[in-house]
Amino acid sequence: MTSDFMTSGSTSRQTTPCRCVLPIGEGSTVASVVFESPYFCQVVYKDGNSVTLPKDKVWGRLLEDVITQHDLEREAAEWVELTDPTHILRKDIDYQGFQDSDSCNVIHASAGMTIAQCSAACCNTWTFKCRRADLPVKQVVMAAAPAAICDEEWVELTDPTHILRKATDYHYREVQGGERSGPIFDSAGMTIAECSADQQTWRFKCRRADLPVKQVVEPVKEEFPQYFRYPQCLTQDVDIAYICRDSEHWCVTVSVIGEVSEAMGWGEHYSRYVTTGVWLPITAEQAKASVWVELTDTSHVLRYGIDAIKSWSGGWEYYETDEHHTVGEFSSSFKFWCLPENLPVLQVVAPQETEQPAESSAPPSEDWAELTDPLHLLRVDVDWVLEPTDTGERPEPWVVVTSVLEGYCLGNMREDLKFRCLCKDLPSPLRKIVLTRWLVEHPDLRYTVQLSTCRPTPRRDYIRITAIGTETVEIPQSK
């Protein structure tokens, strides 16, 4: 459609009005323009009103709106590269293509993944872009090439309770010439402690932006000393009670009898034992309670699975026999130990108040003699015991020894206890000892009985040795 007012230099006249609707911006209030003559035109607004204006004035405004609208449409159709690694790819909106290539494909299968996850899966060979009109509001377009991921952006995951996330966390390990890593897929949903138990050579990391809220990036200043429980039980070759880390770089091991080893360097594999739960941290009180105590009471009956034997060769083993032997039945080359919590306690039980003799009926103090012989065996209703009070202001009255303490050696009692008896009841110079009767069976069906304080040494002509009773004898006191 042509007219004299649209064609430069035309001399013909337009006799019929021409309605021309040109594209005007969406914000315009003009509905249409009707050119009624070569010099005037009628502008019809969207609200129904109209006005007649000179053609030159209206045509200039219309041409400016057309050019402006065209520039806006062209700018909206421009391609803009997506550089935000946290941007979630949109189906049929975002595009992907190879680097240094103009060809690209619309996003379909990768929709819902972030740019970081998709780049890791394709080894950073893809670029992503969209039309400027579809650019997200938070997207900032930088006129620079996308920066490569730096090592500082990776943070190691050390929390053993952290649950590994699919395509967000990565496992890695150092190999010759570099590092081998990859995103988590099959191990997603497992904790670091569970995954490390199966693959102790792998470590875990994620980008700093993906760190969990509870993850602490800055290392916490450690306090020393630190104590850790050793996982292995007492065996013939292992006798470690706990590990003490007294500084950042050094540690020692403490045996079950309190012997401290030489200082050892605290290596990275030791830290991995702690983070994976192989070495459990304990307090100083718990570490002290794990050191064994020697059993010195010769009358102590060894307990199955509780007391341990250390032979002259240095080997350890638990007492594992149903026969009730005492410590005194073994030679001095054997030592017996137990945990402090299993140490037998000799409790002094005072008789009831109705059974205690009145203080006024006790003989005068000059008739008493103190008992100091550690081999003296306590006697019922003959020896007396005194237990001092905590304050020490008024001593408790002396109480007579009851059947609870009968037969105990004085040397096995607490040091703060005092014992006495009447001068007329002082023990004779003879010392009583208890001998065990041992029935020995020989190959020729003979039986013999031996008396001794310890088990007879096995010989070839001994088939079986059985304890059948005890016998008390008196021998002169040693000078």
Q: What average pLDDT does this structure show over 247-269?
A: 88
State phi, psi for 413 to the nearest 5 degrees. Answer: -90, 165
Residue 250 included in any domain: yes
pLDDT band at 333 (very low <50, low <70, confident <90, very high): confident
Q: What integer pLDDT is reported at residue 23 of this predicted model?
A: 44
Residues in Cβ contact with 166 at an 8 Å cutoff, skipping those fewer than 6 apart: 183, 184, 185, 188
Which of residues 390, 407, 427 is at a domain's end? Answer: 427
> Would the pLDDT of 252 be above 80?
yes
Q: What integer pLDDT is reported at residue 73 of this predicted model?
A: 59
CA 369 to chain centre: 62
Residue 329 included in any domain: yes
> Would the pLDDT of 139 be above 70?
no
Is residue 84 domain-shared with residue 72, that is, in the same domain?
Answer: no
Helices (H), 42-134: 55-76, 115-121
Q: What integer pLDDT is reported at residue 245 of this predicted model?
A: 92
Order the strands of the 40-45 sheet from edge to edge.
18-20, 30-35, 40-45, 50-54
Is residue 367 domain-shared with residue 415, that is, in the same domain?
Answer: yes
Q: What integer pLDDT is reported at residue 228 of this predicted model?
A: 92
**Distance separating alpha carbons of residues 435 and 451, to the nearest angstrom:** 6
The secondary structure of 381-430, three-state, reads: CCCEEECCCCCCCCCCCCEECCCCCCCCEHHHCCCCCEEEEEHHHCCCCE
Is residue 390 domain-shared with residue 437, that is, in the same domain?
Answer: no
Q: What average pLDDT does this structure show over 189-198?
A: 82
Residue 459 included in any domain: yes
Is residue 423 domain-shared with residue 435, that is, in the same domain?
Answer: no
List the structure tokens of 5. 């007012």
Residue 299 included in any domain: yes
**Distance separating alpha carbons of residues 56 and 39, to the nearest angstrom:** 8
Is residue 362 domain-shared with residue 417, that is, in the same domain?
Answer: yes
Q: Which of 98-102, 214-218, 314-318 has the lowest mean pLDDT?
A: 214-218
Is residue 393 domain-shared with residue 459, that is, in the same domain?
Answer: no
Cα-based torsion angle of the residue sequence 293, 294, 299, 305 in order, rounded to the nearest 10 degrees: 70
Q: What integer pLDDT is reported at residue 251 of this predicted model?
A: 92
Q: What average pLDDT does this structure show over 5-19?
A: 41
Which of residues 305, 321, 342 is at a domain's end? Answer: 342
Q: What integer pLDDT is reported at residue 221 of this predicted model?
A: 77
Strand partners, 441: 447, 464
Q: What integer pLDDT is reported at residue 226 of this predicted model?
A: 92
Residue 4 included in any domain: no
Residue 35 included in any domain: yes
**Highest averaged pLDDT of the listed ranges 98-102, 108-112, 361-365, 429-433:** 108-112
CA 387 to chain centre: 48
**Highest averaged pLDDT of the listed ranges 50-64, 321-335, 431-445:** 431-445
Is residue 357 domain-shared with residue 382, that is, in the same domain?
Answer: yes
> Would the pLDDT of 19 be above 80?
no
Q: What integer pLDDT is reported at residue 7 of this predicted model?
A: 36
Residue 144 included in any domain: no
Provide the percentage of residues in the chain whose pLDDT is more than 70: 70
Is residue 365 domain-shared with residue 416, that is, in the same domain?
Answer: yes
Q: Which of 296-300, 352-356, 436-440 has the lowest mean pLDDT?
A: 352-356
> Would the pLDDT of 2 be above 50?
no
Residue 142 included in any domain: no
**Distance separating alpha carbons of residues 301 and 264, to the nearest angstrom:** 39
* CA distances (Å), origin 453, targets 299, 325, 326, 430, 433: 10, 11, 9, 17, 9
Q: What integer pLDDT is reported at residue 356 of this predicted model?
A: 45
Higher per-residue pLDDT: 105 or 231: 105
Q: What integer pLDDT is reported at residue 235 of this predicted model?
A: 58
List the structure tokens of 111. 């929709």
Total domains in the fold of the chain: 7
Is residue 86 domain-shared with residue 63, that is, in the same domain?
Answer: no
- Is the entire prediction scored with pTM above 0.85? no
Structural domain including 249 reads 226-289
List the structure tokens of 265. 């360097």
Of 242, 246, 170, nearest to 208 by C-alpha is 170
Higher per-residue pLDDT: 71 or 448: 448
> Would the pLDDT of 268 be above 90?
no
pLDDT tens by residue, 377-430: 888 888 988 877 655 554 567 888 887 788 778 877 888 888 899 888 887 777
Is residue 423 domain-shared with residue 361, that is, in the same domain?
Answer: yes
pLDDT band at 227 (very low <50, low <70, confident <90, very high): very high
Tally of CB atoms within 10 A around 124: 14
Is residue 327 domain-shared with residue 360, that is, in the same domain?
Answer: no
Q: What integer pLDDT is reported at residue 68 of this predicted model?
A: 54
Is residue 101 domain-shared with residue 57, that is, in the same domain?
Answer: no
